[in-house]
Amino acid sequence: MNTRTKIVVTGAAGFIGRRVVDRLNRAEADVTAIDRAAEPGGWPAGVEYRQMDLDRELPVFKGNWILIHLAWSLDRANAAAQQKSLWTFARLLGQEGLAGVVGLGSAEEYGELEGRLREDMAPGAKLSAYGQAKYKACRALEAWVGKAGRKAVWLRPFVVYGPGQDGTMAIPDALRCARERTLGIFSDGLQLRDFVHVDDVAEGIAAAAMGVPALKPAFAACNLGRGEPV
């Protein structure tokens, strides 16, 4: 891949996004970072930052570009918010010059399936609104690849953790409860989860974006995890 091919990262100021931008910059990619937040500062030299609300406006670029789409509603139970994020993603796929996409899915797309989860499995029962929207986005991306003749990767991270994570997520919330001695018991504690560090997830996303132009076949879905249940 030409390392100067423009790579556009949405949700770039987020927990995962900032790490992805950093890795792409170190690989000497031409990076444009997009987020609805005001420019937070601290970006590596050479990274262009655009403050944009993608629900209201879409970016326009000259020439071919690769999209890493991380922007998505965090209101997981809100079906309307999830549908809005799905619609925004679909609109992005229609933008001029879009040559390839790396989309961020979720292990929630599998619903209540148990055991080793493969990318070709159909969703299980009781998908959350978030899981449903992400699964539909994956199917939409695959259809876009077939229709537009482009290439794309859909990544499904499992339980992501690491410094700077939102305090409401599983790991930081459990640590907070332990410190405050307010840890509640919500199950029998026998569930197994695949925990993956945010730096590893960011590395996988950046590598996928750098490699997507040479991808064969033209579409791939891939789980992101350690493969070790805990």
Question: Sign of the CA dihedral 70, 75, 77, 78?
Answer: negative
Confidence class for position 1, pLDDT limits 50, 70, 90:
very low
Beta bridge partners of 154: 103, 221
pLDDT tens-digit series, residues 89-135 = 999 999 999 999 999 999 999 988 777 888 998 888 789 999 999 99
Is pLDDT larger for residue 133 or for residue 43?
A: 133
Residues 123 and 127: their CA atoms lie apart, in Å, by 8
Question: How many domains, in total, are found in the chain?
Answer: 1
What phi, psi does 163 have (nearest 5°)?
-60, 140
Identify the domain containing residue 131 by its residue range: 6-160+195-224
Mean pLDDT confidence for 79-95? 98
**164: helix, coil or strand?**
coil
Confidence class for position 45, pLDDT limits 50, 70, 90:
confident
Question: Would you say residue 1 lies in a domain?
Answer: no
Share of the chain above pLDDT 90, in %: 70
**Closest C-alpha among 11, 19, 13, 12 to residue 197:** 19
The CATH number of the domain holding residue 150 is 3.40.50.720
Tell me, what amino acid is at 150? Answer: R
Q: What is the pLDDT of residue 184?
A: 55
Question: Would you say residue 59 lies in a domain?
Answer: yes
pTM beyond 0.85: the answer is yes
**Of the ranges 3-12, 20-29, 113-122, 161-170, the best mean pLDDT one:** 20-29
Question: Taking all residues of the chain, what is their mean pLDDT, rounded to a whole number?
Answer: 88
Question: Would you say residue 217 lies in a domain?
Answer: yes
Question: Would you say residue 167 lies in a domain?
Answer: no
Structural tokens at position 30? 């031409």
Going from the C-alpha of 3 to that of each of 9, 70, 128, 150, 180, the distances in angstroms are 15, 21, 38, 18, 48
Would the pLDDT of 44 be above 50?
A: yes
Confidence class for position 161, pLDDT limits 50, 70, 90:
very high
**Closest C-alpha among 126, 155, 182, 158 to residue 20:** 155
Mean pLDDT confidence for 131-156? 98
Q: What is the pLDDT of residue 227?
A: 64
Question: Would you say residue 179 lies in a domain?
Answer: no
Is pLDDT larger for residue 172 or for residue 69?
A: 69
